[in-house]
Structure 1
């Protein structure tokens, strides 16, 4: 998942002086384009090109044409300008993008972020320790507790802006009055944008409306895991596909990876990394429409039947490798998100490792059989 840029220097040891390179190694421009997925690559990344269906493809971006995903949904022009322009508003937004994302995130990360490493004027580093996971709380906070994360979409929404600023306050004591005003304007604008177009936000707002009309009703929210649409074509689900409101007792059966969020309760629900809403719930600013993240059963290009295919589906590693590429004619919010990009790369790495460990645990019989067969063939 590491991308080499122009500033990534690789120089011989004898060319270094006191740990600082005397020379600057320029990798040049991204002059190579994958003819299958249109990813832009540096020459050093394009050493393993293959020809498939008369097109030159590469393993780094789309696994030599095997991975086929829908293009990202283009944000509205005003939101795109926040990532690309050089205005004071854009600079302030990008400087605080991790904070803004935490304000509107539905879930929280279990790993401990090491903030002590970012001191001085060196480039920002995102470092996390401990076990990482995403957890989601109940629809409403306990009596006397302050709302957090997804609860901010339902509880005390008359003071929603103030609540979000209070919980995720800026620790910089030198913030000027103009920056505080700009901060409030950005938060209000982001809230209104997500209310208009994010299917997950709309679902929680529906839960808020039901709660306001019937405060004593036993209300639950089911976050649905399964998707009926082809993952190679559609990545923008409807509200009914991502979640369902449940009033009263639960009578229908759920899939194992579905998440049922209760109205009130101290128990946190841990989300499975394979849930399609795992990434958009944590990163609403990178998925402003609530579009799906990684999900299982996304078939490789050209695969229509599982029979005879050893690996017919896109893996999580392939999905992340595809999504972090810069492509011709596309705008990637993720690649422009600076410190939030660092966070999602670290988060994605832990997701990939977690999926690998889960695969090893669940496939012990098959793995032992393969190992035994290999040992027997060597003995013979």
Structure 2
């Protein structure tokens, strides 16, 4: 056995007498010498503490108005940790839970809040409670429930009606460790496929709901062997009982099969009013099918004309190249058709007919925006089930999907309103037309992103120019302060549900970070507590 000479005691000792460093190599000091060094440091630290206590007891009391001439006076003893308290303040309008620092008005006894319901102007129906077995899987702490929540994204993918298409960001996985999260590049789409599988192919997604629940669960388990077959069977049975879209899909398939053979191009649509429509042949006749007994709600204020927001549920002779159709994110069934484990009862998503309450008659625009809708949904309430907050990785995907829907809707508005943005004044089209070698075929159409779009080139340029203007006016900055979030902040860990970790609740981390950041800015700029007057 090889030996190594200790640099402390100068003795040759076996390799087993040495600790290993992070690279697996033996250290230069043996274990006994390291233990002696630790003991000596501990004794010296205790001696210093005893001496410091004695000096404090013997220190004379300074007369009022005198200052001890010290080279350095530590203020660590006067530091107070910022405590936001508990998230137990209830909004009087929507019953959402808040920290007191999130209020925008009112009194300490009756605060008002803007982020959850716009001071009571947003009114949405409460999310229905999940069926008993699914609720047990989301709340229980036993082994079966924990394994279900760990693989909940795969369970949802096996039970969903629609598929999702996106480009995943694999950079976090390549970093070998750290927090795992759901990240994408570019756009995210929900796709509706045909209701009948192609010959010699295995049925999937909505096609499985036309089979016997036990047989459908076996097909799902063969496609996802990591999942528990019994869990799939029991959840499938519950969804067939409570989810209204299953009956709606079955009705669409039955009505399409019952049409005459001569109507080869017929298809069944689900319009924004959540009504089934039969569109026949080239003349595009649209006939309503009775759906009041299949789905719990009809949206009367939505548009019922043919449009790009219709969901193609069934097509008699689908084109093989366009078998899958993209679902418009502005449709009320966009979210519940994919996130069946978050909305097992078919709770509707955002749609154009949602409006704000206007009791004071002061609002000009009564339309409820997508961002306001999702802000309302992302606040836990005392009288509403917390189903979406218990879904761990599926909750992360839902957040990314909601943000992508809002962002794509904003980009679509910018694309369709280039005239209002007066983009012709700051693009290069007018300059290109004045050149002698101008070719219309090579010019194309350019979409201008204004500086109001967060993350765009003009947005980043505006931030840079504003920063340089501040430096030009006030001078170079004295401090460069970075502020990061700590997932182990007490305000975050106290509000986690049983069995959760901070990575399962990005909504709490974002809210606590924003509150602490605003408090820091308030102390820097307004209170001038640390560095005196701040000129910015």
The TM-score normalised by the length of structure 1 is 0.73
Any conservation in 2 of the 1:61–1:322 contact (CA below 8 Å)? yes
Cα 1:190–1:131, aligned 2, differ >3 Å: closer, same or farther?
same
Q: 2:285 aligns with which of 224, 229, 251?
A: 251
Residues 312 and 362 of structure 1, relative CA distance in 2, 3 Å threshold: same
- Partner of 1:34 in structure 2? 91
- C-alpha displacement of 1:243: 4.6
Q: In structure 2, how many angstroms separate the alpha carbons of the residues matched to 1:362 and 1:221?
A: 29
Select between 281-290 and 61-70 the one with higher mean Cα deviation. Answer: 61-70
Which residue number in structure 2 is paired with residue 309 of structure 1? 363
State how far apart, in whole Å, the 1-side matches of 2:409 and 2:116 are: 20
Aligned to 1:285: 341
Equivalences for residues 202-221 of structure 1 within 5 A: 202-207=247-252, 220-221=267-268
1:152 equivalent among 208, 218, 223: 208
**Alignment of structure 1 residues 1-380 onto 2, 5 Å:** 27-44=84-101, 46=102, 48-51=103-106, 56-114=111-169, 117-118=172-173, 122-154=178-210, 159-170=215-226, 183-207=228-252, 220-226=267-273, 242-244=274-276, 246=278, 249=281, 251-252=285-286, 254-261=306-313, 262-263=315-316, 265=318, 266=320, 267=322, 268-302=324-358, 309-368=363-422
Larger radius of gyration: 2
- TM-fit CA distance, 1:344: 0.5
What stretches of structure 1 of length at least 5 have no aligned partner? 1-23, 171-179, 227-241, 373-380
Q: 1:43 to 1:309 in 2, by over 3 A?
A: closer
- For residues 116 and 326 of structure 1, the distance between their equivalents in structure 2, rounded to whole angstroms, comes to 31
- Residues 163 and 97 (structure 1), Cα distance of their counterparts in 2 relative to 1, 3 Å cut: same
| Structure with larger RCO (C-alpha < 8 A, sep 6+) | 1
Which whole-Å CA distance do the structure 1 matches of 2:212 and 2:241 have between them? 19
Cα distance, 1:105 vs structure 2: 1.3
Contact 1:220–1:247 (8 Å) recurs in 2: yes
Q: Secondary structure at the match of 2:202?
A: coil
- Which runs of 5 or more structure 2 residues have no equivalent in the other structure? 1-80, 287-304, 427-536
Structure 1 residue 49, shift from structure 2 partner = 1.7
Q: Do the aligned residues in 1 keep the contact of 2:271 with 2:310 (CA within 8 Å)?
A: yes
Output the CA distance in 2 between the equivalents of 1:197 and 1:82.
17
- 1:48-92 per-residue CA deviation (whole Å, 9 max, x = no partner) reads 42249x963212211232211111112233332221111222212
Task: Give the secondary structure class of the aligned counterpart of 2:335.
Answer: helix
CA contact 2:256–2:268 (8 Å) conserved in 1: no
Instruction: Check whether the contact 1:225–1:255 (CA below 8 A) recurs between aligned residues.
Output: no
Q: Is the 8 A contact 2:213 2:237 kept in 1?
A: no
Which moves more between the two structures, 147-156 or 134-143? 147-156
Counterpart of 1:376 in structure 2 is: none
Q: Distance in 1 between matches of 2:131 and 2:207?
A: 27
- TM-score w.r.t. the length of structure 2 is 0.53
> Distance between the aligned counterparts of 2:326 and 2:359, measured in 1?
33
Distance 1:145 1:243 in 2: 30
Q: Distance in 1 between matches of 2:248 and 2:309?
A: 19
2:19 alignment partner in structure 1: none
- Conserved 8 A contact 2:330-2:350: yes
Q: Distance in 2 between matches of 1:194 and 1:264?
A: 29
**Structure 1 149/127 Cα, relative in aligned 2: closer, same or farther at 3 Å?**
same
Q: Tell me the C-alpha RMSD between the 2 structures.
A: 3.3
Query: 1:23-67 CA distances to partner (integer Å, 9 max, x unpaired)?
Result: x987542132222111112344x1x42249x96321221123221
Q: How far apart, CA to CA, are the structure 1 residues paired with 2:118 and 2:317?
A: 45
Deviation at 1:163, TM superposition (A): 1.9
Asked if 1 retains the 8 angstrom alpha-carbon contact of 2:187 and 2:408, the reply is no
Measure, in 2, the Cα distance between the counterparts of 1:26 and 1:156: 55
8 Å CA contact retained: 2:162, 2:191:
yes
The structure-2 alpha-carbon separation of the partners of 1:319 and 1:270, relative to structure 1 and needing over 3 Å to count, comes to: same
Post-superposition shift, 1:320?
0.6
